[in-house]
Amino acid sequence: MSALRIVRDGEVKLSIPGPSADIKSDGTIWVSGMPILGIDDPKIKTKAASAVKEKRYNDIPADAWVRLGDNPNGVWAGWDAEWEKHPENAPPKEAEKEYGRGYCYNCDSYCYGDCGDFHATNIREI
CA separation (Å) from 117 to 21, 97, 108, 121, 124? 59, 21, 11, 12, 19
- Torsion 91-83-3-33 (CA) sign: positive
* Residue 106 found at the interface with Zn ion (CB under 5 A): yes
Q: Pick one of 31, 44, 52, 111: the residue that binds Zn ion (CB under 5 A).
A: 111
* Residue 107 found at the interface with Zn ion (CB under 5 A): yes
* Residue 103 found at the interface with Zn ion (CB under 5 A): no
* Residue 120 found at the interface with Zn ion (CB under 5 A): no
CA terminus-to-terminus distance, the chain: 53
Neighbouring C-beta atoms of residue 106, cutoff 10 Å: 14
Q: Minimum Å distance from CB 120 to Zn ion? A: 8
Q: Minimum Å distance from CB 126 to Zn ion? A: 18
Residues 6+ apart with CB under 8 A from 93: none
| Interacting span for Zn ion (CB under 5 A) from 27-35, 40-48, 70-78, 106-114 | 106-114
Q: Minimum Å distance from CB 8 to Zn ion? A: 45
**Cβ nearer to Zn ion, comparing 34 with 115:** 115
